[in-house]
Structure 1
Amino acid sequence: MTTLPGLGKTGQQILNASATTSETHSNGWEQLPPLPEIIDGVNQFTRHSFQLCFIHKKQFLQCLLDDHSSVSAFLVVGILSISARLSPPLSARYGSGIKASRFFIERATNLALGEIYPTKNTLENCQAFLLLSIAQEGNGLRDESHMSMCLALQIASTLNLHLEQTYAYETSNPTPDTIILRESARRTLWMLHNQNQLQSRLSSPVSLVASDITTLLPCDEDDFANGREPPSRAAFEGTRSAIKNPDLVNENRSLFESLIQAYGFWGIVKRHKVNHLSNSYPWGPESEFAKVLKKLDYWEMSLPPAHKWSEARLREHKTKGQDLAYLEVTMIPRLCNIVLRCLYLEHVPNRSLYLQKPEFFKGIEGDLFNNVCRLYDLVHAQFIGRFTKERLGGLMATLCVYICGHASIHIWRYSKDANTQKKGYFMFRRSLVILAEQKEVWPLTSSWLHTLENFAQHFSSSFASGNGIGDGKHSLRDQTTFCPGTAPISFDEPPDLSLHDQSRPEQYLQTHQMPTNSQTHQQPPWGMPPDQTFNLNQGGPQPFNMADCSVVLGGFNPTHVDHYLRTPQDNRLLVTNMSMAMGIPMESAPDDFSGDMTHPSYDAQSWSLLDNDFGGH
């Protein structure tokens, strides 16, 4: 096992622990499946879970083939705890993908008990604890995930992975293997930073603060694959390297760098800064809201052309095996824009504030609508045209689906325009179907699915009681019914309720009924009429009540997984006929929004977005 030279005496002594004997490694290989199945799990990890990560695909697989006992069993089990549910042979061996994942999480947890002492502070153990944390998180084990993350961060700190001098070469002509090892360590640090951002919340602050980091950002995938040191590296904004030399925060970045920076923005939006937004007048140019949005918009505009959204670029990244990472880079700005604007919907009941700048709040509502539609287009691009299980990606991508569905209810429920209602309903329903598929891979998703299903049921009750869409003139009584179950969802033939494809079999369109209106609207689906309004002056649950987002990595009981994974006959879901909705012409999302909303009386506190329970994402 190779170590990282050039650390100084203390760092060198610590990292020498990475040269663990094969005997130590071999101790963890008992009870593991045959090597071909393990290799399939590793391939699933690098192709469908983390396309950009610290694993050097070719070198890692070659080490397994040459002498698997030379590779840390703890690291391998950590990988499989995430990817086993995607592997057909591993799923078959353990009975299902969920059972396979549970086996490897338990195995990794048992191995972890022997890997938490100073003599075991190796790069591989740092990586293994990180992956175990991610797997535990995806299975709803939040406390265990937090502990594993703390251990990974502690090992990284001991190895000085946050300091750029750690990666200095001892010679002017380093070998490719030396370059690969350093790059793997560098990527480990930034993956830790990403996950730490995603898991932190008000009650659990960030442990790896940017201002403590001098490590520069990773190179591109070609350089990593070929063991090549890039001619230059960029710095992450806010790190000591960036503060010392602002020119290092440049626009010439790799896809991995863009992904790291996107995660950084999500950390800003969903944690401490956004909790101060509501205390300022958001329309002021110096307000925190304006500053965050300006910085986010500038960053997005300054992305390299290859990292900006287009279907052609998606196809290019797909050929490189980087399409899921590329989609995350394009999704996260939409997610941030949606969440930031939802924060300010809590001001609407405060009439004195709203009346000071009504046009400002109308603009927020229009921007929210446009960003939800744009996020849906990206979700649609991720899950169309391929075996769905291969398109799942990580929890961040799944969160985007959930937020898209959550916000779509807002559009569906409160729009007075029939075409806009249909758009909102389609986005909601498609999000629901995707989450139903993803719960087979990420059990945590079951909580998000359950939340959206509950909203649909509550709204159905609201409709049936006479509180219809819009101003209440659209009678929806007796339009919606509940059935004991829904048609099973199979990965073999994934349903596609996309707005861009109306040719799917009718069997996939009978899960919900789009409530019909008594009035006929002739507006095109994205032509927002001048008098378009949203009417929220109704009772019932508020669809974007973000207090309910406690299910996002928080408040999930893993003992409920079996309940969520029962056969469809065990769960009550809203069941309908979407024949009317399928009749509308499909176009891309609108470029603007010319309407406004009227809002209900409700407790502004209930709209508090990223509270302590909002959780890891």
Structure 2
Amino acid sequence: MDQTSDINPSIASTSPTPASTQVPTSSAPIKRRAPIACRRCRRMRSKCIHDKNNGPCQGCIESGKPDDCFYPGRGESTEDRQFRHPRQRADRKPNGKTPRVNKENTVSPSLTTSSNTLDWDGDELALLTDVETVKEGVRAFTQHFFQLGFIATEDFLLQVEREPGKIGAFLLVSILSISARFNRNYEAAQKAVQSYLDCAEKLALRELYQQPVTLERCQAFFLLSIAQHGMGDTSRSNINMGIAISMATEMRLHREETFKLITEDSTREARIRAESARRTLPVLLAAGDITTLLPCDEDEFRRGEFQVKPRAALVGTPPADLNPTLATLSSRSLFATLIQTHHIWGIVARRAVANKKSSYPNDTGSDYAKIANQLAEFEDNLPKNQAYDDLFLAGYRKKNEDLAYLSACATLRLSNIVLRKAYLGDVIRSLKGHHSGLGVHILHTITNELFDNVYHLYRQIHAQFGDSDRPLEEMVGSQMAAFCVYSCGLLLSYLVKYPGLYQNSESKKYEPPKQMYDRIIGILEEAQAIWPLASSWLNGLKSWMGGPDTGGVYEGVFMADGVRSSQVLDFLG
């Protein structure tokens, strides 16, 4: 029995490969190519010049990719022909069945297409350009956005190269609708993003009711939701996130028994696919419904190893209730910690959106005290190399996991900040001599804890994004990272407006608040070039900062567009 079917059939299945388009016959003489051509030359529609021993052809050698030169045997699948470079003939007119794809002259042309919309009919893979474009887009996606996720990069790239039909155009275009943002040419990037997003939305309508539900389809709806959210289209984003969650539960990705059939005897491909399915776990589900244990580390995922050591569990799930040590495993992966951190963030964010505020935060039985203790205990039990340190950040950067590491650390700081920000209005009123209803000592403690976390968050942001010599490719990757930057800037604006608000030894280690605020504004201006949603955060922050002192607390963008919409991103790194 094929080991790829060891787990839930809907996980093991893949998207159907589009049928080949029939070529009309012609009475004109047909110019035939050499009887044997390598896969790369077939895709590029170029003449394959090679010796009789089928060594690397001249084209692959000249392109610097002799190892990619592969000759299919007789009877072998010609699926690669369905995914090849489009013909570039000046006299060729579109026939309405395949889209026209024009190249843009940009800094990174292979991540762009020029059409605002791409029409398609039948051959889904014709929506994409050449294979190198897709591979470059996947690399950008995993390097600058989704460093820890459900894609085993090298295996995925190999599948893009050889069997793109098994992945499906929907997932590939959804990936490109995110990764195209990281083009250094702003106008070209935005044009490409809209083009890929239009394609993905069209495909979504057709994919919605396809059966069986597949892992690739679920992942594609998930990524489409993220792309739409980044464009500020929260309504469609929420709908597609709901579809992704429904598909995940239909495949029972939230139940550990789904993965029980994967053993050490299963094939490497089956183990990688099962781990990819586990990593598609939607944290937005209620913890009591989730029995799936958390992901392994990246090296084990890439190698397709069978997990023999205990897996970590999410707090509040049945496995963690049965064995609490699973929630604090010192051997847990960075991805497991990232999911746990965003789970706590979800608790804090939903509380903030509901405007919940404990009247007596110093009461040990209050919600405030319970969440504050949960955050403190979680941080105390972090594996040593997952607590924030500049040296650890440098190490994770070498492993291409720095954005994920920073996301876990920054989201933990953000959770502490949002929890305490509910009392900022009381602190300001007390500063102006008005009675707030809370004791001076309590307010002083909350204020110090709040801005201690703000300064620590700034330190992390500055270490990652504050270097003026930083390459343009290393921009703010995810919406959640941009939101952390925005939140830091918002709290720093209070220190600028109210100089006596925070006087602690921690503040003496840093430059003046106005200088820090200006640095944050510069990073946000960079982020809005990638995520249009960040523009509303930036404009709101500037308006609040430049407006008159009304003695109030700025809530508009922070609550409506920040905390609320970021719940969609609860497990992104």
TM-score tier (shorter): 0.7 to 0.9
Aligned to 2:167: 71
Match of 1:226 among 303, 321, 335: 303
Aligned to 2:555: 546
Aligned to 2:203: 111
Contact 1:44 1:87 in 2 (8 A): no
SS of match in other structure, 1:160: coil
Measured at CA, do residues 369 and 39 of structure 1 come closer, stay the same or move farther in structure 2, by a change above 3 Å? same
Partner Cα distance (1:397, 1:218) in 2? 22
SS of match in other structure, 1:334: helix
Contact 1:97 1:440 in 2 (8 A): no
Match of 1:18 among 14, 19, 33: 14
Superposed CA deviations along residues 102-123 of structure 1, whole A, max 9, x for unmatched, are 1111100001111111514100
Query: What code does the residue aligned with 1:211 have?
Result: G
Higher mean displacement: 64-73 or 400-409 = 64-73
Partner Cα distance (2:160, 2:386) in 1? 33
SS of match in other structure, 1:188: coil
Match of 2:546 among 438, 457, 460: 457
Aligned to 1:304: 383
Alpha-carbon offset, residue 546 of structure 1: 2.0
SS of match in other structure, 2:422: helix
What are the equivalent positions in structure 2 for 1:277-426 lying under 5 Å apart? 277-348=356-427, 349=429, 354=436, 357-383=439-465, 384=467, 385-416=469-500, 423-426=512-515
Contact 1:369 1:411 in 2 (8 A): no
Alpha-carbon offset, residue 265 of structure 1: 1.1
Aligned to 1:99: 191
Measured at CA, do residues 286 and 122 of structure 1 come closer, stay the same or move farther in structure 2, by a change above 3 Å? same
Alpha-carbon offset, residue 391 of structure 1: 3.3
Contact 1:354 1:361 in 2 (8 A): no
- Show structure 1 runs of 4+ deviating over 6 A: 350-353, 417-422, 612-615
Contact 2:294 2:314 in 1 (8 A): yes
Partner Cα distance (2:151, 2:560) in 1? 31
SS of match in other structure, 1:117: coil
Measured at CA, do residues 3 and 457 of structure 1 come closer, stay the same or move farther in structure 2, by a change above 3 Å? farther
Alpha-carbon offset, residue 30 of structure 1: 1.4
**Count of aligned pairs between the two proteins:** 456
Aligned to 1:558: none
Alpha-carbon offset, residue 316 of structure 1: 0.8
Contact 2:177 2:196 in 1 (8 A): yes
Partner Cα distance (2:287, 2:470) in 1? 38
Aligned to 1:568: none
Matched, 1:134 2:226: yes
Measured at CA, do residues 186 and 110 of structure 1 come closer, stay the same or move farther in structure 2, by a change above 3 Å? same
Contact 2:222 2:240 in 1 (8 A): yes
Alpha-carbon offset, residue 152 of structure 1: 0.6
Superposed CA deviations along residues 450-508 of structure 1, whole A, max 9, x for unmatched, are 012212321xxx4xxxxxxxxxxxxxxxxxxxxxxxxxxxxxxxxxxxxxxxxxxxxxx
**Percent identity between the two aligned chains:** 36
Aligned to 2:319: 241
Measured at CA, do residues 21 and 114 of structure 1 come closer, stay the same or move farther in structure 2, by a change above 3 Å? same
Measured at CA, do residues 318 and 140 of structure 1 come closer, stay the same or move farther in structure 2, by a change above 3 Å? same
Partner Cα distance (2:191, 2:476) in 1? 18
Query: What code does the residue aligned with 1:431 have?
Result: I
Contact 1:551 1:615 in 2 (8 A): no
Match of 2:348 among 265, 269, 277: 269
Partner Cα distance (1:329, 1:21) in 2? 38
Measured at CA, do residues 219 and 353 of structure 1 come closer, stay the same or move farther in structure 2, by a change above 3 Å? farther
Alpha-carbon offset, residue 616 of structure 1: 4.8
Work out which of the two has the higher radius of gyration on C-alpha atoms and give 1 or 2: 2
Aligned to 1:51: 147
SS of match in other structure, 2:124: coil
Partner Cα distance (1:548, 1:441) in 2? 19
Measured at CA, do residues 309 and 162 of structure 1 come closer, stay the same or move farther in structure 2, by a change above 3 Å? same
Partner Cα distance (1:613, 1:260) in 2? 18
Query: What code does the residue aligned with 2:542 have?
Result: E
SS of match in other structure, 1:30: helix
Higher mean displacement: 39-48 or 389-398 = 389-398
Measured at CA, do residues 105 and 614 of structure 1 come closer, stay the same or move farther in structure 2, by a change above 3 Å? closer
SS of match in other structure, 2:423: helix
Superposed CA deviations along residues 578-597 of structure 1, whole A, max 9, x for unmatched, are xxxxxxxxxxxxxxxxxxxx
Contact 1:121 1:159 in 2 (8 A): yes
Partner Cα distance (2:415, 2:205) in 1? 38
Measured at CA, do residues 356 and 160 of structure 1 come closer, stay the same or move farther in structure 2, by a change above 3 Å? closer
Partner Cα distance (2:483, 2:355) in 1? 23
Measured at CA, do residues 224 and 171 of structure 1 come closer, stay the same or move farther in structure 2, by a change above 3 Å? closer
Partner Cα distance (1:342, 1:131) in 2? 31
Aligned to 2:96: none
SS of match in other structure, 1:402: helix
Contact 1:410 1:424 in 2 (8 A): no
SS of match in other structure, 2:295: coil
Query: What code does the residue aligned with 2:365 have?
Result: E
Superposed CA deviations along residues 33-88 of structure 1, whole A, max 9, x for unmatched, are 22212211110000000100000101000111123333211100010011111146
Alpha-carbon offset, residue 344 of structure 1: 1.7
Superposed CA deviations along residues 254-281 of structure 1, whole A, max 9, x for unmatched, are 0001110110111010104784752431
SS of match in other structure, 2:173: helix
Measured at CA, do residues 548 and 54 of structure 1 come closer, stay the same or move farther in structure 2, by a change above 3 Å? closer
Alpha-carbon offset, residue 301 of structure 1: 1.4
Query: What code does the residue aligned with 2:517 have?
Result: F
Contact 1:276 1:288 in 2 (8 A): no
Query: What code does the residue aligned with 2:300 have?
Result: D
Match of 1:161 among 242, 253, 274: 253
Contact 1:126 1:152 in 2 (8 A): yes
Higher mean displacement: 33-42 or 438-447 = 33-42
Higher mean displacement: 267-276 or 254-263 = 267-276
Partner Cα distance (2:4, 2:441) in 1? 58
Alpha-carbon offset, residue 345 of structure 1: 2.4
Contact 2:313 2:327 in 1 (8 A): yes
User: Where do 5+ consecutive residues of structure 2 fail to align?
Assistant: 21-78, 83-122
Partner Cα distance (1:112, 1:337) in 2? 38
Measured at CA, do residues 99 and 277 of structure 1 come closer, stay the same or move farther in structure 2, by a change above 3 Å? same
SS of match in other structure, 2:163: helix
Superposed CA deviations along residues 168-201 of structure 1, whole A, max 9, x for unmatched, are 2265511211110000000011xx32xx4xxxxx
Contact 1:133 1:149 in 2 (8 A): yes
Matched, 1:62 2:158: yes
Contact 2:358 2:366 in 1 (8 A): no
Contact 2:454 2:491 in 1 (8 A): yes
Alpha-carbon offset, residue 243 of structure 1: 1.9
Measured at CA, do residues 146 and 364 of structure 1 come closer, stay the same or move farther in structure 2, by a change above 3 Å? same
User: Where do 5+ consecutive residues of structure 1 fail to align?
Assistant: 197-207, 463-538, 554-609
Matched, 1:433 2:515: no
Matched, 1:254 2:254: no
Match of 2:181 among 59, 66, 85: 85
